[in-house]
Amino acid sequence: MRHTEDIIVRLLRIREARKLCDSHLLSDDDIQTLRDFIAENRRQIPAFALAHFDRLESSGKSGLAKVVDGKCSACSTEVPQDEIVYLKKNRNIGVCDSCYAFLYMPDEKFEESGYVRHLIGK
C-alpha cells in the first residue's frame, strides 16, 4: 500500500476505534484491545500528520474528510478542481482551505470494512 493510502486508512481506523471505545456496551478487555489498536496505528503515522489530525479532532472538528460531489464532507466547502485532480492522482491527501481537515477522494480501500469491529468480535 502506498504511504498516503496507508495514512488515510490508519486515520480512518483510529477514528472508528475511538468511536467504539465510547460505547458503554464494551467490556474492559474490548476497550483495551481497541486502545492497543489505536496506539499501534498512531505509531505508523508521521508525527506532523497525527498532530494535525489530533488537534482538529480534539476541538470537535473532523480531522479527515472525503470529497463528495466536489465538496469537503466536513464543512461543505467547494474543493477547487485542481485540488480534486491532485487528490485523485495516486490517492493523495490534501487539506481543506476552510476547515483544515485532511481531504481524500472516496475509494473502496477507504470504506469502513468492519475491520476494527472484527478485532473485538462485534
Structure letter (DSSP) for residue 122: -
Q: Is 17 exposed, middle or buried (0-12, 13-18, 19+ CB in 10 A)?
A: buried
Closest listed residue to residue 64, CA positions, set 106, 119, 22: 106
Which residue would you say has higher pLDDT here, 69 or 89? 69
Q: In the predicted model, is pLDDT for residue 1 greater than 60? A: no
Least confident of 75-79, 80-84, 88-92: 88-92
Give, in order, the Cα–Cα distances in Å from 63 to each of 30, 94, 120. Answer: 25, 12, 25
Q: Residue ranges of the domains in the chain?
A: 3-120
pLDDT of the residue at 50: 96
Q: In the predicted model, is pLDDT for residue 120 greater than 80? A: no
* Average pLDDT, integer, range 48-57: 96
Closest listed residue to residue 52, CA positions, set 39, 66, 65: 65
Q: Parallel, antiparallel, or unpaired: how do β-strands 64-68 and 71-72 relate? A: antiparallel
Q: Which residues, 6+ apart, have CB-to-CB distance to 74 below 8 Å?
A: 61, 62, 65, 96, 99, 101
Give the model confidence (pLDDT) of 12-35 as tens digits.
Answer: 999 999 988 888 888 999 999 999
Closest listed residue to residue 67, CA positions, set 58, 57, 59, 77: 77
CATH class label, 3-120: mainly alpha
